[in-house]
Amino acid sequence: MAEEAPARSVERLFPFVLRSRNLLVGRETLRRSKRKLHFVLITCDLSENSRAEILADFAHYPVVQHYTAAELERFFGVTGAKVIGFEKSGLAQSIYAELKEHRINKPVDKSQSQETR
């Protein structure tokens, strides 16, 4: 019995992200949409200072570092974007599950970050 499990790429899900309008592009948009945010994707060609800023600003969210700005443009049609986010959805959960190995932070638990009474 031959196994039919070729390596499926997460990129196959990206057209559905565009269709569902669950893509958040740019740092300011992400900052304004934190309640809707599932995870943040930053590019590998992002500067170290910008990377540190994103990690500080989004400490409560998973941050994944993968792809380049050119690849994001090809996948999503966003020119020059190096920081994107995915709104909470089943689709975002599926994408994050496949990109989890590229996560560069451990999200801070919101309940632990508050003072204990």
Which one-letter DSSP state was computed for residue 79?
Answer: T
Structure-token match 């990206």, residue found: 14
Give me 92's structure tokens: 């975002």
How far apart, in whole angstroms, are the C-alpha atoms of residue 48 and residue 54? 10
Question: What does the pLDDT average to over 75-91?
Answer: 95
For residue 81, give the nearest of 42, 33, 31 by alpha carbon.
42
41 vs 14: CA distance, rounded Å: 13
Reference 54, options 91, 104, 89, 111; nearest CA is 104
Reported as a single tens digit per residue, the pLDDT across 2-59 is 444 445 799 999 999 999 999 999 999 999 999 999 999 999 999 999 999 999 999 9
Superfamily designation of domain 10-107 = Ribosomal protein L30/S12 (3.30.1330.30)
Q: Please report, for the chain, the start and end positions of each structural domain, with discontinuous segments joined by +.
A: 10-107
